[in-house]
Amino acid sequence: MPLSENEQRILRQIEEELQQDPTFAQRGYRVSRRRSALMGLGLLAGMALTIGGLAVSFLLAFVGFVIVLVMAVLLESELRLLGRDRLGQLPISAWLSGGRRPDAESDSVDDH
């Protein structure tokens, strides 16, 4: 459902006001690549502990599984924030066009 002209005007005004606020971008949450990498390594270590623990003890394998579960949930939330951060960097015109590129439509016409 497309936005009305009034809603588009309001969104443009909000975007302009946010661009004029120099501290707005600094207040957002930044995803640490190091933290994400450490969680990925923790996930792999938990998998190794789970597989290796099966040969030694059920309890050790269960601990490894819990580590995998915790790391997967934490990593997923970090990646979700990263995606939200990337989406937040798009200009309002990208949101209003529904994510379509204007060139994509002309490319498909040329192919016929």
What digits encode the pLDDT tens for the residues 12-66? 888 877 777 666 655 555 667 788 888 889 999 999 999 999 999 999 999 999 9
Cα 16 to Cα 87: distance, rounded to the nearest angstrom: 17
Q: Is the pTM of this model over 0.75?
A: no
Kindly compute the dihedral angle of the four CA atoms of residues 84, 90, 93, 96, in this order, to the nearest 10 degrees. -20
Q: Taking the CB of residue 32, how many other CB atoms lie within 10 A of it?
A: 12
Cα 47 to Cα 68: distance, rounded to the nearest angstrom: 6
Largest Cα–Cα separation, the chain: 67
The domain segmentation of the chain, as residue ranges, is 32-91
Containing H/E element for 60? helix 58-88
